Amino acid sequence: DGFRQEANDELIKLAEKLKGIALKKKKSVYFRALPPKDRKIIHQYLAEDGRVKSQSVGDGLYKKIKIFPKKGNDERSQATS
């Protein structure tokens, strides 16, 4: 439905922003605690970019997402992505 798609678009927009920060600073960044279906959207989106990895962190239903640069990531690998 339209509302869900809009919510998904907002999640992806924020994930893109956090991915940029992680790559620029070469450090891990964290996405707020999310329910499983929202985390799945973020993980699937980030999996398309070979420069970063994502991991759910925490206990319980709502977990944070850790976004971090892949090891060996440098300017050359960014240029080819």
Could you tell me the fold of the domain covering 2-80? Ribosomal Protein S8; Chain: A, domain 1 (3.30.1370)
pTM (2 d.p.) = 0.83
Give the C-alpha separation, 10 to 81, whole Å.
23
For the residues 29-41, what does the mean pLDDT come to?
A: 97
pLDDT category at 1 given cuts 50, 70, 90 is confident
For residue 26, give Cα distances in angstroms to 12, 29, 39, 43, 70: 20, 9, 22, 19, 9
Tell me what the pLDDT averaged over the chain comes to.
90
| pLDDT of res. 16 | 98
Task: Indicate the domain borders of the chain.
Answer: 2-80
Burial of 47 (0-12, 13-18, 19+ CB in 10 A): exposed
